[in-house]
Structure 1
Amino acid sequence: MQRTRLLSSALRARRAVRHVLVLVAVALLAAGCAPKKNLPPIQPAEACPVPSGATATAAEPEEVVELPIPPADDGVPLTPQEWAALNSTGELDKNLSPEARRDVELHFKYFTHRARGTFERYLKRSQNYLPHIREVFRQQGIPEEIAYLAIVESGFNPNAVSPAGAVGVWQFMPYTGMRYGLSYSWWMDERRDPYKSARAAADYLQKLYGDFGDWHLAMAAYNAGEGKISRALEGTGAEGFFDLRAKNHMLDGKAQLKDETRQYVPRFIAVAKIMRNLESLGFQAPDYSCPPKLEQLRVKPGTDLMALAQAMGQNWSDFSANNPAFRRYISPPDAHTTVYVHPMHLEAATAFLAKPQQRSYAGWRVYKVRQGDTLDRIGKRCGVPVSVLKRVNKASGKLQVGQELMIPGGGDATDFTAQAETPASKSAASAKGGKAVADKQDKSDKSDRSSSVRTRDIAERRATYIVKQGDTLYGIAKAQGSSVETLQKANGLSGIALQLGQKLYIPDAGAEATAIARQEAEAANKAIVASASRGGAERAATPVAVATASKSAGAKPAASQAAAPSGRAIVYKVQEGDTMWAIARKFNVPPKELLRWNNLERDAQLKPGDQITVHAAQ
């Protein structure tokens, strides 16, 4: 994943003050003002770094600092226990070269000395998630120590966000997350779901291992991208990650691996050595035998999550801690979703979900239409896309003065806590008739807008694309951070052939805009067909380009419904050692589709002789 190092100006100032204090202290000691007994020299407190440049949410601002790559040697000799830990080996850190070992030692000393407090915080977080990640990796046949990559990526922080837009424990970019089943929309961002994202990370790492046949290269590709590593291997003829590092000088300019990628695997190896020697290194090892147990409940489309939280006696901050994927107080109105609840709240949650008609609409606001209002103006004022307002209110473009609109509440995940710390009792007391009434003043309406609202405004203005010579549906989808299937549904397309001048609608990442976009696109494209029949038939009949089936197969977002099987059906007999993932790769089909065609769960166990149906591309 791509990283950018940041240094907060406030922290820079704080660090400068600390250095001044150190100089003052040294001067006082020189003047004889120090106590008579010998004391260790005063050291400035170290700021806490976030791993690999990932920035934490506002709750942990101290983690937004510059992290040297590699860290400088602090000059402190290793203790015998530290030497023993550094010399320990596992499946992934044998036979290191002297240069690789030096870099591993620098990261090892950094996390055990200067950033020890940071590493302890990561350990505390790991208690909630590491057992689940290990189990997922075990099921996928991935070495369990690779679960420690989550420390390198985010420090097990579900809300970690990089400046490049990577999010969550596993730092997925939107497009990559959607490729591996993590839905991303105005309503929710499953990259923040620590459980689903662990599955996606396992699938991605498994795919990368299949590409390169080497776990070190797979991890490097997770950081830099498979294309970057593939080109670097081709340009150097290297046979492994550390060989590639040594030959990096053979590459030109942008083709070279960045320092971050060159240090990514050494940092992981250092973390793995620490994790397998926690007690001897003086860390308090978390109790992984009893991870927090959460119950999964399936909720209907459009469920009022704020009201659900209140029914369980929680404020939004408590609910969001277990369900960081939800970006609004309402679940997506077009899909069933999963919420995680503590067993002690299971009965209350189940009772609430069984009687949705009694919900208090705590997550909604009521807006009364005024003279001159339009859906566009209301949407911008309240920070809600017009397509969402139309969908949840079944509204057309015409509004009546005095008409009441339901406005889904909640801002982006990064400002959930600030918006919703109000306890349930206070929220209920301020509601009128079970509904939270919107402030009628324009001034307060405008104060609700955030930078995220402006981003959505820009995104909506860029929702149209005109097909050019050489375009493919796959290429357009990739460039727009969408998928082939999403564009097909939004534009009423049955295939992947395009025509010059064709207008494509690029829906919001959420599916709420799809129905409207489809209607508009169908109308626009009928005009192209009509024009072709009046003299432009030659142009209309000639597709611009056709994307290969293998390219379009892997870009299916989880939120969209599965398409009907295409291609000829093949019955494959399972061989010794086969897995569903391996069979999917063999036939170049998405693993999720292979499971769907055979009505199997993803953890299904195969036996030699089992028959698997595959719809191979024609």
Structure 2
Amino acid sequence: MQHRMFPRTAQALLILVTILVLASCAARNPATDKPAPTAVGPACVYPRDPLDKELDERPREDLSVLTPAEREALGVRTGIDFDLDTMDTEEVQQYFAFFTHRARGTFQAWLGRSEAYLPAVRAALIEHGLPQDLALLPYAESGYNPNAVSRAGAVGMWQFMRGTARKYGLTVDWWIDERRDPALSTQAAARYLSDLYGMFGDWYLALAAYNAGEGKISNALEKTNANDFFDLVDKNDRLRGRAKLREETRHYVPKFIAISKIFQNLDMLGFQCVDWKRAPRLADVNVPGGSDLMALAQAVGLSWNQFREYNPAFLRQVSPPGMSVVVHVPESRLAEAKAYLQNPKSRPYAGYTVHTVRGSDSLWKISRRYGVPVAVIKRMNNLSSGKLVKGQQLLVPGGGSARELADEDRASSRKTRKLAQARSNYIVQKDDTLWSISRQYGLSVATLQQANGLSASSKLSVGQRLFIPDQTGKAARQSRQEAEAVHAKLADKGQEKSKAQAKTAEPKSGKTKVVAQAKSTSYKVREGDTLYSIARRFNVSLSELLRWNSLNNGSTIHAGQEIKVLQR
């Protein structure tokens, strides 16, 4: 399915929208004056509101600052209810002056951000038979910010509270918050606004109810016997206690009307007009539960931040287990997305459990409870230490996922041990321990374990071969000579056909130098790996690793990718 930021919409609707809404603007500043962004380019990133408080600002403006052109625009009849003469309302004038002067920069930023969503919002409203001017409501609610969160806990472009969002079919949980999804929240808002208009038969009362709740407006109308919104505001003093309309609700409709007057006269007021061709061209992809969204983003050439620009509803880097969800990707990358999802390894985390940490919990206890290795839990939750906080939530894979991840760790350790043996430069002696060897060569135990694929519980045996990274001095020469003797003996028996032939030379410094023919091995990238961590794992420099794989410092890698490492 293809769309412009939202599900499929008819071209005819978008053309109709453009003609109806921006006729004056388009006449003097055609959309063709600006180049449309490329389909593959990065997501449009707009700055946060210059002044976040301006969403809730109560303007106190000097109306004498209005220019003749601004007064002309203020006098234009507009809005969703032409039967009411609201052009001279004091609150409308205050908001008009506020957004055209003191908060002008904020309003222009809102216009820029809305370009990605406006065409499809208008089309959705037409689909539901609603006035197109309602597309201006997200300016008043959030400044068209899909990630906006109010002090009261309302979220998203349309500022849904959790209960109302769920009532109108939006999922809100630990994994996903569809209030942030512009497409889904717009559909929910259209249904909600339709219900409110059916209840009150008056659009301004419906908007007041959108802000304050239908129960409060119904109760206020019943107690005051008011005829419309403005009459209700005039009679607000008759109400007592919690029945009174808050200032925010009393100013909500005038704020909407002022925004409407400005939007219909952007060119006259000197604002940069909305570019209706700015919306990115996206395609919808059905993603099964437990899919690795970070790897999906990398597969289609997006950073995580760019992916979130297109998919702000996802709260985790994994899709919710047990349910299929829709992900938006650039149309030009649809094939890459489908190819990635067809790979069984795209769902390494199917079957999650969300564990809430209790006071006595430790990673070891959680590991024992779920049968998942501590290392896997730490890797999946990006934990650098074992310290937990009461109430903290952890992702714990269940079923085959944990076993697969643990098997992957064990397979990687086996591969590291095999490589370490091939590059060995120390033979374990009687009474040797990892600690004593690490002290002898000035290394940490952890470095020695990592270089040889060993764990804390690993036991050493006499004659076992180890790789000691970065050796120097007499001990280094001795251990290397011992390793050479072992390899030479094996070569004499014909068992070293596939291995590098050791060659020795005596530099001027008197130190023994071993030169071996490089042999290539392949390493499969695991979740959480970086190029730096891989270089450290194999004790090679990052620059070498980059050169061997034709990469640079800005390159990204993804789980399952094959990385070439040269053995010496």
Match of 2:388 among 371, 381, 397: 381
Match of 2:136 among 122, 139, 148: 148
Q: Aligned runs of 1:10-89 on 2, under 5 Å? A: 60=48, 62-65=50-53, 70-89=58-77
- 1:347 aligned onto 2:335: yes
Provide, for residues 223-275 of structure 1, a one-character-per-residue CA deviation record: whole Å limited to 9, x for no partner.
00001101100110011101100000010011100000000000000000111
Match of 1:587 in 2: none
Match of 1:254 in 2: 242
Check the 8 A contact 2:200/2:206 in 1, yes or no: yes
Match of 1:134 among 113, 122, 143: 122
Q: Aligned runs of 1:550-569 on 2, under 5 Å? A: none
Closer, same or farther: CA 87–100 of 1 in aligned 2, 3 Å: closer
Match of 2:199 in 1: 211
d(CA) in 1 for partners of 2:69, 2:292: 53
Match of 2:398 in 1: 393
Closer, same or farther: CA 84–336 of 1 in aligned 2, 3 Å: same
Match of 2:218 in 1: 230
Q: How many residues align?
A: 350
Match of 1:308 among 279, 296, 302: 296
Match of 1:463 in 2: none
SS of match in other structure, 2:66 = coil
Letter in 2 for 1:130: L
Closer, same or farther: CA 350–72 of 1 in aligned 2, 3 Å: same
Closer, same or farther: CA 252–107 of 1 in aligned 2, 3 Å: same
SS of match in other structure, 2:93 = helix
d(CA) in 2 for partners of 1:181, 1:297: 20
Provide, for residues 508-550 of structure 1, a one-character-per-residue CA deviation record: whole Å limited to 9, x for no partner.
xxxxxxxxxxxxxxxxxxxxxxxxxxxxxxxxxxxxxxxxxxx
Structure with higher Rg: it is: 2
SS of match in other structure, 2:89 = helix
Q: Aligned runs of 1:330-345 on 2, under 5 Å? A: 330-345=318-333
- 1:186 aligned onto 2:174: yes
Match of 1:92 among 49, 71, 80: 80
Match of 1:436 in 2: 528
Match of 1:600 in 2: none
Match of 1:607 in 2: none
Check the 8 A contact 1:137/1:144 in 2, yes or no: yes
RMSD across aligned positions (CA): 3.6
d(CA) in 2 for partners of 1:180, 1:197: 9
Letter in 1 for 2:91: D
d(CA) in 2 for partners of 1:61, 1:206: 30
The structural deviation recorded for 1:70 is: 3.5
Closer, same or farther: CA 210–405 of 1 in aligned 2, 3 Å: farther
The structural deviation recorded for 1:302 is: 1.2
Closer, same or farther: CA 225–98 of 1 in aligned 2, 3 Å: closer
Letter in 2 for 1:81: A
Give the gaps of 5 or more residues in structure 1: 1-56, 407-430, 439-618
Match of 2:187 in 1: 199
Match of 1:606 in 2: none
Closer, same or farther: CA 254–218 of 1 in aligned 2, 3 Å: same
The structural deviation recorded for 1:114 is: 0.6
SS of match in other structure, 1:270 = helix
Letter in 2 for 1:195: A
- 1:111 aligned onto 2:111: no
Provide, for residues 96-146 of structure 1, a one-character-per-residue CA deviation record: whole Å limited to 9, x for no partner.
567962110110010011100000000001110011110011111111001
Provide, for residues 439-465 of structure 1, a one-character-per-residue CA deviation record: whole Å limited to 9, x for no partner.
xxxxxxxxxxxxxxxxxxxxxxxxxxx
Letter in 1 for 2:526: G
Match of 1:328 in 2: 316
d(CA) in 1 for partners of 2:196, 2:47: 34
The structural deviation recorded for 1:303 is: 1.1
The structural deviation recorded for 1:76 is: 3.7
Letter in 2 for 1:435: E
The structural deviation recorded for 1:69 is: 5.3
Match of 2:307 among 311, 315, 319: 319
Check the 8 A contact 1:322/1:341 in 2, yes or no: yes
Check the 8 A contact 2:291/2:347 in 1, yes or no: no
Letter in 2 for 1:252: R
Closer, same or farther: CA 99–121 of 1 in aligned 2, 3 Å: closer
Match of 1:288 among 270, 276, 296: 276
Letter in 2 for 1:434: R
TM-score by length of 1: 0.52
Letter in 2 for 1:340: H
SS of match in other structure, 2:182 = coil
Provide, for residues 121-179 of structure 1, a one-character-per-residue CA deviation record: whole Å limited to 9, x for no partner.
00001110011110011111111001100100001100000121110000011111111
SS of match in other structure, 2:281 = coil
SS of match in other structure, 1:114 = coil
- 1:168 aligned onto 2:168: no
The structural deviation recorded for 1:359 is: 6.9
Provide, for residues 472-530 of structure 1, a one-character-per-residue CA deviation record: whole Å limited to 9, x for no partner.
xxxxxxxxxxxxxxxxxxxxxxxxxxxxxxxxxxxxxxxxxxxxxxxxxxxxxxxxxxx
Closer, same or farther: CA 403–354 of 1 in aligned 2, 3 Å: closer
d(CA) in 1 for partners of 2:99, 2:130: 25
Match of 1:242 in 2: 230
Match of 2:262 among 274, 294, 306: 274
Match of 1:120 among 98, 108, 115: 108
Check the 8 A contact 1:360/1:434 in 2, yes or no: no
d(CA) in 1 for partners of 2:339, 2:232: 58
The structural deviation recorded for 1:83 is: 1.6
Closer, same or farther: CA 394–170 of 1 in aligned 2, 3 Å: same
Letter in 2 for 1:394: G
SS of match in other structure, 2:285 = strand
Letter in 2 for 1:169: M
Match of 1:356 in 2: 344
d(CA) in 2 for partners of 1:360, 1:393: 11
